Amino acid sequence: MPEHNEPAYDPLQPGEGEAIAPTGQGGPMDLALDEAESLEKTLGDDSTGPGPGPQEKPRSLWSDAWHQLRRNPVFIISSLMILFLVIISIWPQLIASGDPLQCDLSKSQQGSSPGHPFGYDTQGCDVYTRTVYGARASITVGVCATLGAAFLGSLLGGLAGFFGGWGDALLSRVADIFFGIPVVLGGLVFLSVVTSTTVWPVVGFIVLLGWPQIARIGRGSVITAKQNDYVQAARALGAGNSRMMLRHVAPNAIAPVIVVATIALGTYIALEATLSFLGVGLRPPTVSWGIDISNAASQIRNAPHMLLWPAGALSLTVLAFIMLGDAVRDALDPKLR
């Protein structure tokens, strides 16, 4: 299979985007266009950045990334959305005047009416108020569990992938066992003994079950990234492990972790609903999208509006974080610079 050698051992080229521009028909054109755009962007960045001069300190990759992020409209839009969600979580009464626990069973599953634009759920509670108040618990669970699982997973997985050997074997096998624990069983065992009504046991449990997946993804991409020529070159030049990991491997391996983590955010919020359904998740007076979505799911034929609003809010949240993740990933990709 001679093809293997061609791409893999391609010598490092100086960034000559224009060199391939004329070759294309159709596809290559697209690639070339993208390339040209990004070149322009880089040029633009450079001209607005700190002026060139002999005194300029070499900027680190991370500050470069931050620099680029601030100019990315996707990043700005997603940050504003997240800011909005955070504000709603802290002060839900800003946009909802009702009480999410005030329910009138006689209005069960009624559609929208003046003052109650989203209608009522099965218990006769106002769907709009509950959707607004549900943000706090759901976003706390989603964000904290994702951060926890992503941190733990990428740290352990990254180390395992980077060093390999016995540590890798041990970690991977531990992860295999964790994969084996059914969510239902784990939830019933770990969460039924907890009497706290806060979100933290739920967050902890989701981190516990979530990290192996991110660890494996992180491990896989670190294994790939450390084969790159520039990493090998850095090693040949005598770079230390920590420097190599932070400078060369991490930025190139982080993209899949970001992708998985941003989607996992949504699934973790949904997982919280599964736990509530089992009787071990959040419980009243806590209000959450997960609880409302799982209550609405079985009523989909009778009252679809019950599902629409909390699920829509969940979509928006996931969208904001997916956009944020995309922007961060773009900013960290040196090939775009």
Enumerate residues 138-177 that contact other proteins by CB under 8 A. 169, 172-173, 176-177
180 near other proteins (CB under 8 A) = yes
**236 near other proteins (CB under 8 A):** no
Contact call for residue 46 and other proteins (CB under 8 A): no
By CB under 8 A, how many residues form the interface with other proteins?
A: 99
The verdict on 231 binding other proteins (CB under 8 A) reads no
* CB closer to other proteins, 102 vs 198: 102
**Contact predicate 214/154, CB 8 Å:** yes
Cβ nearer to other proteins, comparing 121 with 144: 121
Buried residues in 311-331 as b, exposed as e (16+ CB within 10 A) = bebbeebbebbbbbbbbbbbb
Report the site for other proteins in 59-118 (rule: CB under 8 A).
101-106, 108-109
Whose Cβ is closer to other proteins: residue 39's or residue 239's? Answer: 39
Question: Binding other proteins by CB under 8 A: which of 42, 86, 124, 152?
Answer: 124
Q: How far is CA 218 from CA 6, 112, 212, 225, in A?
A: 27, 46, 10, 10
Give the separation between CA 308 and CA 212, rounded to whole angstroms: 32
Question: What is the dihedral angle through the alpha carbons of 265, 267, 273, 275, rounded to the nearest 10 degrees?
Answer: -100
Q: How far apart are the first and last CA of the chain?
A: 33
Please report whether residue 194 would count as binding other proteins according to CB under 8 A. no
Q: Distance between CA 71 and CA 75 in Å, rounded?
A: 8
| Cβ(289)–Cβ(269) below 8 Å | yes
Report in angstroms how near the CB of residue 1 gets to other proteins at its nearest: 5
Residue 319 CA from chain centroid, whole number: 10
- When asked if residue 136 is in the footprint of other proteins (CB under 8 A), the reply is no
Provide the mask over 316-335, with x wherever binding to other proteins is found by CB under 8 A and - wherever it is not: --xx--x---x--x---x-x
Contacting residue, 77, 188, 234, 239, with other proteins by CB under 8 A: 188
Smallest separation, CB 223 to other proteins (Å): 6
* DSSP 3-state of 302: coil
**Residue 33 binds to other proteins (criterion: CB under 8 A):** no
